[in-house]
Amino acid sequence: MTAGQAEPMVKIRSLRKRFGAVEVLKGIDLDVPHGQVVCVVGPSGSGKSTLLRCVNRMETIDSGRIWVDGDLMGYAERGDRLHLLPPADLCRQRRPIGMVFQRFHLFPHRTAIENVMEGPITVLRTSRAEARRQAEELLERVGLADRADHYPAQLSGGQQQRVAIARSLAMRPKLMLFDEPTSALDPELVQEVLAVMRDLAATGMTMMVVTHEMGFAREVGDQLVFVDGGVIVERGNPREVLANPRNDRFRAFLGQVL
Amino acid sequence: MEVTPAGGAPGSQEGPAVEPPVELPIDAVRPPRPGRLIGAAVALLFLAWLAYTVIVNENLHWDVIVSFLGDGRILGGLWVTIQLTVLSMVIGLVLGVLAAVMQLSDSPVFRGTSALYTWFFRGTPLLVQLIFWFNIGLVFPSFGIGVPFGGPKLVEWQANELITPFTAALLGLAINEGAYMAEIVRAGIRSVDPGQREAAEALGMSHRQVLRRVVLPQAMRVIIPPTGNQFISMLKTTSMVSVIAGAELLTVAQRIYLGNFEVIAMLIVASIWYIVLTTIASVGQHFIEKRFERGHAALGARVRRNLRPFAKEPA
Ligand SMILES: Nc1ncnc2c1ncn2[C@@H]1O[C@H](COP(=O)(O)OP(=O)(O)OP(=O)(O)O)[C@@H](O)[C@H]1O
Ligand SMILES: [Mg+2]
């Protein structure tokens, strides 16, 4: 590691993940320092989503270790053995990790503001009044104060994704995971979501972003990681690696997406 | 190459102003449909004949039927029918949700228990189950709370006191209904996008919170229509309880005709009340379904938005 920063926000060591007979992640090592934005790129099926889902323990892992803010995900270390954490502790570990999905997954039976209030009320036991106040603030921040009482079905894709980001932020996360947040959007709606993410990065939020938006990676990313076949084949400063990619497969991949 | 604007094409828009569109009304003649006319005539004739034979038939005793429609005993039976229907549907729904959740759990023991339950109660006739519950005292003479597998008991009840026709009927109907509701609830839960569960889990919700706050409310749209059908069907199924003298509508009608021998008249009285109940339930079902069809969410939003100007008035 270069900087004098102590522990990174996310530390991944020798991560392996199998689905049945297929090994999807074949030994991933990755550090995400506090306040940095790491962009993960790679061809379809290379394991990018799986990598993110392992970080917040939506998937179990087959070997390796993942720490988030110094907390070993999914296990307690007692003596020289690992013990699987009970479900309540998994929920507690997930709480400070926000996740934004490609297809938004807003709760369709709740309005925009109710979506944002859901986490604090149900999980953090915040009072309704306080949750509403925070939610109004967050919707303001993503530019949707005037859409608070709309249901997801009444919002455009870009607006839905911004509500989804606000919903995650309502849990006061220390880490945000984005899984292709703009891939399901019409081209003219992509920028409004990227703008919100750019603002978020500027506040010092630590982010892992799976994306095909190389412009965003170049501009906002502190680190770019190219995953192919379940391993990281190229990594570095986005501006440098995009300007002169060393790996052949990365170069071929860039030829397709740029 | 130069692109010419559409309006500037030579000779196109040079005449007078645009003419108004020509009206072309359709006033077509229907082809003759003699088959339909004849069919309708036959059907009407048949209905008229049926009504005539029913009305003039002296064996039907319309005066008796009318006088017994509001009879106290009949109304009492009607009330028991309603109670049995509502209670067994409510208990059945709870059992169904429980069984469905167990069926979808990771634990093979839960899944197996749930599968055993639905397999057994859907695989045996309700009539047999009702008689069984009524006679459960023959198998288990007493019930108690205490140490299982033959240990000492803290409290104990005699089956004969506990099992009245009503409780036996309720047990039979509710437990049987639960087995069917389990399938309906399971289909409802399955219909919810798995992404919903993931989004809720990513917020740090527990399994139970995910189910209660996110999955079940959305599953309701799929669960409600068939549940309405089950309710309507249950109104009629309660008549089976007459085999254990459940004191509901059919039992009461039977008791009366054993005394006055007006068998057909009493059956018609009961049928009229069954039709009234199922009709009311069908109308209710229609309205509830309409509400849930119309994009449940969007409707609520529209109502609230329309009300807002009035709500915000005092400012
Ligand atoms: N739950 C699962 N069960 C079985 N296989 C899975 C599962 N989830 C993912 N996979 C497989 O793992 C591989 C990696 O999937 P993943 O979703 O991580 O890829 P990705 O890089 O995110 O691709 P994309 O760009 O298409 O989203 C794929 O081959 C996929 O079929
Ligand atoms: Mg993916």
**pLDDT tens digit string along A142-188?**
999 999 999 999 999 999 999 999 999 999 999 999 999 999 999 99
Q: β-pairing, A63-68 with A71-72?
A: antiparallel
Q: Inter-chain contact A122–B199, Cβ cutoff 8 Å? A: no
d(Cα A205, Cα A36) in Å, to the nearest integer?
7
Whether B195 and chain A come into contact, CB under 8 Å, resolves to yes
pLDDT band at A133 (very low <50, low <70, confident <90, very high): very high
d(Cα B61, Cα B265) in Å, to the nearest integer?
6
What distance in angstroms lies between residue A45's CA and the mean position of ligand 2's atoms?
A: 7
Distance (Å) of CA B103 to CA B83, B111, B189, B198, B212: 29, 4, 11, 19, 16
Residue B293: predicted pLDDT: 60
Mean per-residue pLDDT over chain A, rounded: 95
Per-residue b or e along B57-68, where b marks 16 or more CB atoms closer than 10 Å to that residue's CB:
eeebbeebbeeb
SS3 call for A15: strand
Which ligand lies nearest to the CA atom of residue A42 in the structure? Answer: 1
Give the one of A105, A109, A111 whose C-beta lies nearest to B296's C-beta. A109
Tell me what the mean pLDDT of segment A26-44 comes to. Answer: 97
* B308: Cβ contacts below 8 Å, ≥ 6 apart: none
Whether B214 and chain A come into contact, CB under 8 Å, resolves to yes
Find the angle CA(A29)-CA(A33)-CA(A37) to the nearest 5 degrees: 95
Interface test with A, best of B105, B193, B203 (most A CBs within 10 A): B203
Residue pLDDT, tens place only, A8-31: 999 999 999 999 999 999 999 999
What distance in angstroms lies between residue A49's CA and the mean position of ligand 1's atoms?
A: 7
d(Cα B298, Cα B300) in Å, to the nearest integer?
6
Residue by residue, pLDDT tens for chain B (315 residues) are 444 444 444 444 555 667 888 888 898 888 888 999 999 999 999 999 999 988 888 888 888 999 999 999 999 999 999 999 999 999 999 999 999 999 988 899 999 999 999 999 999 999 999 999 999 888 888 887 888 887 788 788 888 788 889 999 999 999 999 999 999 999 999 999 999 999 999 999 999 999 999 999 999 889 999 999 999 999 999 999 999 988 999 999 999 999 999 999 999 999 999 999 999 999 999 888 887 664 454 545 555 555 544 444 333
Say if residues B188 and B222 touch (Cβ distance below 8 Å).
Answer: yes
Q: Which of A191, A183, A196 is nearest to A215 (CA)?
A: A191
Cβ-based contacts of B295 with chain A (< 8 Å): 153
Is pTM, for the whole model, over 0.90? no
What type of residue sits at position B27? D
Q: What is the DSSP letter of A227?
A: E
Alpha carbon of A94: minimum distance to chain B alpha carbons (Å): 5
Report the share of chain A in percent with pLDDT over 70: 98
Any atom of ligand 1 within 6 Å of the Cβ of A107: no
Residue pLDDT, tens place only, A65-82: 999 999 999 999 998 999
**Structure-block tokens of residue A27:** 């030994």
Q: Which of A16, A22, A24, A182 to mutate to test the pocket of ligand 1 (most atoms within 8 A of CB)?
A: A24
Q: Which of A109, A137, A102 is nearest to A209 (CA)?
A: A102
Any atom of ligand 1 within 6 Å of the Cβ of A132: no
Q: Which of A206, A196, A142 is nearest to A174 (CA)?
A: A206
CB neighbour class for A4 (10 Å; exposed up to 12, middle 13-18, buried from 19): exposed
- Strands in A10-19's sheet, in edge-to-edge order, are A22-32, A10-19, A63-68, A71-72
Kindly give the residue spans of alpha helices, DSSP state H, lying in A38-178.
48-55, 87-94, 112-122, 128-141, 157-169
Residue pLDDT, tens place only, A212-224: 999 999 999 999 9
Any atom of ligand 1 within 6 Å of the Cβ of A211: no
Q: Using only C-alpha atoms, what is the Rg of chain B?
A: 31
Residue B19: predicted pLDDT: 80
Q: State the SS3 of B62-95.
A: HHHHHHHHCCHHHHHHHHHHHHHHHHHHHHHHHH
B131 φ/ψ angles, rounded to the nearest 5 degrees: -65, -40
